[in-house]
Structure 1
């Protein structure tokens, strides 16, 4: 696509203005080729810290570093033409203080070209969100199940049931009041997600939440069937590319061992072809 025909990517303000409209579509991406695939179909693409588990084999997102997020963010940016890019702030890069959060968020935006950053946490992170947004760094918030807090949450459990319902609602209201332009609701009861969506003026992005949210996001490797270590209930598989790849690799291995690959059409002869006149 030429510079003159390039479609202008949405801005955080554009995403915020979609509240209550046609649902927003988002997927994660970590590499240039996947970014190129999802770009025509998504309103925004998230470079998630899930990259640690999906591509690096880590047991959780806690081992992801700023260097990793900068590397993958820059790769994704090279594959996007029309979708807005958001980059996750990794564990330990923003919790210490609003000042620490600003330094790391500014680095992420500078080195990747991201339009916004995402950070986890509700009421406790509201002052940090306000600090960032007042200094020209758009923030997507994330409440409910926050994977960086699995050690205190007791694992990947649904959040917002029973007595915790009011807490998750308060978290969502706090990040909205602090200036976040949208908020991810992860693994919360559908009825609570609907209540939050109705109560706050910014778009809600569901993952294991409700079809009534203002948008949806999935990990791209989950929905394509590439990541198969485990399958969350909310991760609908739209393809089984992992199984297809396994069959293709097995076929290649069989042909190599049988010496049927490479065939004549895959190798080069001694004589160069005559040049065309």
Structure 2
């Protein structure tokens, strides 16, 4: 009788051990069952069900319109494709900022209705009471500092954050605060590499960078960007590992041609 090898699941504790050992953490976004299953099988450490679904799945200009119900739908789909990866779900705009009770209720819904393993929220001192409330209920929280896309209308631009000393100092304080309040990790988005290095070395919890240089404890990219599904988004920090847009377009055009010329289906493809 063959004994199936037990799959070692990634937990928040695993990520802590990886940081301590100097092992980098790989993280990608996922929004559906099929891609989640592929990424999980490939060995990705963390899957983020990002509110970037608002952009790449729904076609909105910002992350703001996506609802808690929609995030729960995406997260439930992702979880069904996962055996090993840690699955983190973004709390969407409006589901945690107003008060800690709403933040906790939103987080409980995500955990109960999706089976996900953790939630993520944006901000530092401004949302610390919400973080406390969620963590005190036993729900793991990942922080997010630097460029926080839910605040895009406040920033007015997607430019690099924390280049000025005042904002850099606040980011350092916020990172420490998130750690002290119980966050298990923090995303650092689009900040100077040297600042990200300093913050990463000052924290006991892992940092996950996106446009924050190589000294973070891990990296995250949006799957649509990394796989070349998007063609219009080419930031400096993006490395495109595939040109899926071109490959899919070529395949679809070949299919159209085969249908139009009655080449498909062939006799072998008919009953």
**TM-score past 0.5 threshold:** yes
Match of 2:93 among 85, 91, 104: 91
Shift of 1:153: 1.0
Which residue of 2 is the match for residue 143 of structure 1? 145
Which residue of 2 is the match for residue 216 of structure 1? 219
Which residue of 2 is the match for residue 177 of structure 1? 180
2-side partners of 1:3 and 1:95: how far apart?
Answer: 48
Structure 2 residues not aligned, in runs of 5+: none
Between 10-19 and 140-149, the greater mean CA deviation after superposition: 10-19
CA contact (8 A) 1:125 1:175 kept: no
Which residue of 2 is the match for residue 30 of structure 1? 31
2-side partners of 1:62 and 1:221: how far apart?
Answer: 19
Shift of 1:77: 0.5
Whether 1:198 aligns to 2:210 is: no
Between 159-168 and 190-199, the greater mean CA deviation after superposition: 159-168
Deviations 1:179-209 (A, max 9, x none): 1000000000000000100111110000100
CA contact (8 A) 1:6 1:81 kept: no
**Equivalent residue runs for 1:32-47 within 5 Å:** 32-40=33-41, 41-47=43-49
Aligned-partner SS, 1:17: helix
Deviations 1:73-105 (A, max 9, x none): 011001001111111100000001111000000
Between 161-170 and 11-20, the greater mean CA deviation after superposition: 11-20
Which residue of 1 is the match for residue 265 of structure 2? 262
Aligned-partner SS, 2:61: coil
Whether 1:248 aligns to 2:256 is: no
Shift of 1:14: 2.4
2-side partners of 1:59 and 1:75: how far apart?
Answer: 23
Match of 2:228 among 225, 230, 238: 225
Structure 1 residues not aligned, in runs of 5+: 269-277
2-side partners of 1:155 and 1:198: how far apart?
Answer: 28
1-side partners of 2:52 and 2:225: how far apart?
Answer: 11
Shift of 1:176: 1.2
Between the two proteins, the alignment pairs up a number of residues equal to 267
Distance 1:195 1:66, change over 3 A: same
Whether 1:123 aligns to 2:125 is: yes
Match of 2:55 among 38, 50, 53: 53
CA root-mean-square deviation: 1.6
Shift of 1:5: 4.0
Shift of 1:259: 2.0
Given the two structures, how large is their TM-score scaled by the length of structure 1? 0.92
